[in-house]
């Protein structure tokens, strides 16, 4: 039994009722999987997450045995089978959620810090439920991997294109340094809960069913703190702000979410750390735009430059480059400079796309006006009609 299941509503995920048949489950899944498939939604992280969630929901609900376990666990959960501990299923160690005084799934499943009960918790509750008549099965609690952490950062256009090292400030819960996570005032220790003998669970027999539920006296932790640590108010956890330096790879896009493995919260009892997810916001640039790995810019030119041709020095992310505008280039045409765009992860770089745009002088002096008038006559005499073939002419 996967403890994360309880926090999820697989039926809602697939948009079906809890009484759905296997056929309905299959149909709902197929449709969603088609719509949300990453190949169909490239770069859409929301669709990707939904795709994963839908796949997980299907994996559980399409297996009748897993589905009935899930249903029973959900039923127990909804009936308050876990006691009155102010249990918050959506809780956990996410930032900004506070409420560590409350019971949360992490406590139940992982055993709270300082708990003398290495086992116990939901493993036993479910063990008791699903192994009826099989005697007490002790499920050992594996060390809990640290939580993933979400954060955001704002990058300049060129930083994002070229990659940058940025400091990230993060506030996340970590074991209290004063009491080393025990929750008890330094010099004192939590004592074993006499009500549950430190197991954190109370067993109850109802006919053929053996039930276990978290102990009310110690709220499932197995220990009682008489003298709480003042710094963490007995929770054993403090919010700590830390600054880490992360390397953002070149070529990130606005809104992209980057995963930095092992940079999340530390795991409890030597378990691996969680991952850090950084959502990147990229500001606009005055000169450059982006189209995937291609860098775009608009190059102002004069009419005569387009007609006669010229070479113009344009900026790139890395120095300047001379762009040749061939004689007779049409206004609005885009010229491609290979390999001078945004660096790619796979090596190399996209292209620089230079779009020419005629700048019309707001005013000409007498000499230039006179020359232009003469030019206009010569152009006409030469047979050029800008509207030849236009609008049915
Ligand atoms: Zn403390
Ligand atoms: Zn107890």
Q: pLDDT, tens digit, for every residue of 143-171?
A: 567 788 888 999 999 999 999 999 988 77
How many whole angstroms from 101 Cα to the centroid of ligand 1?
A: 12
* pLDDT at site 321: 96
pLDDT(55) > 80: yes
The 10s digit of each residue's pLDDT in 69-91 is 788 777 766 654 443 333 334 33
How many whole angstroms from 125 Cα to the centroid of ligand 2?
A: 15
* Residue 221 token pair: 């932790």
How many CA atoms within 13 Å lie on the side-chain side of 233?
A: 6
CA distance 246 to 248: 6
The mean predicted confidence, pLDDT, of the chain is 79
pLDDT(380) > 60: yes
How many whole angstroms from 173 Cα to the centroid of ligand 2?
A: 25
How many whole angstroms from 236 Cα to the centroid of ligand 2?
A: 17
Cα dist from 207 to 122, 132, 186, 211, 296, whole Å: 21, 11, 45, 10, 74
The 10s digit of each residue's pLDDT in 229-260 is 998 888 887 887 878 888 888 999 999 999 98
How many whole angstroms from 193 Cα to the centroid of ligand 2?
A: 5
Task: Please state the length of the chain.
Answer: 393
Strands 320-325 and 237-248: unpaired
Residue 228 DSSP symbol: B
* pLDDT at site 244: 84
Average pLDDT over residues 300-327: 96
Ligand in closest contact with the CA of 231: 1
Average pLDDT over residues 343-364: 93
CB atoms closer than 10 angstroms to residue 24: 14
* pLDDT at site 77: 63
Ligand in closest contact with the CA of 176: 1
How many whole angstroms from 238 Cα to the centroid of ligand 1?
A: 7
- 265 closest CA partner among 249, 233, 242, 246: 242
**Residue with more model confidence, 299 or 62:** 299
* pLDDT at site 267: 65
How many whole angstroms from 228 Cα to the centroid of ligand 1?
A: 8
How many whole angstroms from 175 Cα to the centroid of ligand 1?
A: 8
* pLDDT at site 362: 94
Ligand in closest contact with the CA of 220: 2
**E strand map for 292-333:** 294-301, 310-315, 320-325
How many whole angstroms from 179 Cα to the centroid of ligand 1?
A: 4
Burial group, residue 124, by CB count within 10 angstroms (0-12, 13-18, 19+): buried
Instruction: Provide DSSP, 56-78.
Output: HHHHHHTSHHHHHHHHHHHHHHH
How many whole angstroms from 204 Cα to the centroid of ligand 2?
A: 14
**Residue with more model confidence, 370 or 11:** 370
- pLDDT band with cut points at 50, 70 and 90 for residue 97: very low
Ligand in closest contact with the CA of 113: 1
Percentage above 70 pLDDT, the chain: 78
CB 249 within 8 A of CB 255: no
Ligand in closest contact with the CA of 214: 2
Strands 294-301 and 352-358: parallel
Ligand in closest contact with the CA of 192: 2
pLDDT(105) > 50: no
How many whole angstroms from 125 Cα to the centroid of ligand 1?
A: 29
- pLDDT band with cut points at 50, 70 and 90 for residue 326: very high
CA distance 116 to 136: 19
Give the range among 203-212, 292-301, 309-318, 381-390 with minimum mean pLDDT.
Answer: 203-212
pLDDT(214) > 70: yes
How many whole angstroms from 103 Cα to the centroid of ligand 2?
A: 13
How many whole angstroms from 173 Cα to the centroid of ligand 1?
A: 12
Q: Which residues touch 174 (CB under 8 Å, ≥6 apart)?
A: 237, 238, 239, 240, 265, 266
Average pLDDT over residues 378-386: 93
Q: Which residues touch 106 (CB under 8 Å, ≥6 apart)?
A: 91, 92, 93, 144
* pLDDT at site 64: 83
pLDDT(1) > 60: no
Give the range among 217-226, 325-334, 374-383 with minimum mean pLDDT.
Answer: 217-226
* pLDDT at site 270: 59
- Residue 357: strand pairing partners: 300
Strands 294-301 and 223-224: unpaired
* pLDDT at site 132: 35
Give the range among 57-61, 262-266, 353-357 with minimum mean pLDDT.
Answer: 262-266
How many whole angstroms from 221 Cα to the centroid of ligand 2?
A: 7
* pLDDT at site 120: 38
Q: Rounded to a whole number, what is the distance in angstroms from the first to the last CA of the chain?
A: 77
How many whole angstroms from 386 Cα to the centroid of ligand 1?
A: 81
**Radius of gyration of the chain from Cα atoms?**
33
CA distance 5 to 74: 9
How many whole angstroms from 212 Cα to the centroid of ligand 1?
A: 30
CB 125 within 8 A of CB 82: yes
Ligand in closest contact with the CA of 199: 2
How many whole angstroms from 144 Cα to the centroid of ligand 2?
A: 22
109-112 long-range contacts, Cβ below 8 Å, gap at least 24?
109/3, 109/141, 109/144, 110/141, 110/143, 110/144, 110/268, 111/141, 111/200, 111/221, 111/222, 112/183, 112/220, 112/221, 112/222, 112/223, 112/236
- Residue 372: strand pairing partners: none
* pLDDT at site 349: 93
How many whole angstroms from 117 Cα to the centroid of ligand 2?
A: 10
* pLDDT at site 111: 37
CA distance 308 to 323: 14
* Residue 374 token pair: 């003469």
- 215 closest CA partner among 69, 91, 103, 101: 103
Q: What is the pTM of this model?
A: 0.49
Give the range among 38-52, 121-135, 159-173 with minimum mean pLDDT.
Answer: 121-135
């Amino acid at each position: 039994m996967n403890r994360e299941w309880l926090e999820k509503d697989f039926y809602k995920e697939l948009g079906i009722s809890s009484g759905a048949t296997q056929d309905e489950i299959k149909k709902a899944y197929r449709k969603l999987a088609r719509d949300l498939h990453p190949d169909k939604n490239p770069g859409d992280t929301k669709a990707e997450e939904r795709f994963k969630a839908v796949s997980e929901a299907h994996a559980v609900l399409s297996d009748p045995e897993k589905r009935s376990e899930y249903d029973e666990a959900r039923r127990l959960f909804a009936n308050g089978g876990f006691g009155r501990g102010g249990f918050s299923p959506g809780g956990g160690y996410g930032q900004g959620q506070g409420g560590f005084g409350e019971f949360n799934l992490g406590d139940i499943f992982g055993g709270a810090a300082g708990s003398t009960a290495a086992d116990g918790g939901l493993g036993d509750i479910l063990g008791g439920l699903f192994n009826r008549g099989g005697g007490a099965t002790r499920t050992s609690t594996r060390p809990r991997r640290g939580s993933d952490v979400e954060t955001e950062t704002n990058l300049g256009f060129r930083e994002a294109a070229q990659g940058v090292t940025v400091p990230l400030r993060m506030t996340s819960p970590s074991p209290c340094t004063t009491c080393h996570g025990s929750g008890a005032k330094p010099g004192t220790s939590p004592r074993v809960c006499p009500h549950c003998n430190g197991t954190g669970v109370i067993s109850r027999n109802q006919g053929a069913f053996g039930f276990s539920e978290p102990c009310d006296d110690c709220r499932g932790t197995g220990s009682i703190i008489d003298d709480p640590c003042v710094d963490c108010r007995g929770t054993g956890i403090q919010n700590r702000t830390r600054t880490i330096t992360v390397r953002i790879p070149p070529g990130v896009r606005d809104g992209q979410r980057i995963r930095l493995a092992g940079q999340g919260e530390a795991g409890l009892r030597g378990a691996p750390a969680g991952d850090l997810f950084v959502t990147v916001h990229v500001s606009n640039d005055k000169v450059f735009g982006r189209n995937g790995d291609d860098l775009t810019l608009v190059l102002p030119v004069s009419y005569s430059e387009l007609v006669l041709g010229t070479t113009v020095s344009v900026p790139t992310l890395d120095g300047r480059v001379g762009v040749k505008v061939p004689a007779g280039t049409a206004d609005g045409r885009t010229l491609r400079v290979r390999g001078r765009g945004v660096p790619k992860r796979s090596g190399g770089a996209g292209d620089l796309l230079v779009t020419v745009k005629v700048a019309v002088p707001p005013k000409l002096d007498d000499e230039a006006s006179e020359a232009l008038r003469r030019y206009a006559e010569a152009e006409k005499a030469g047979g050029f009609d800008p509207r030849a073939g236009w609008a049915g002419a």
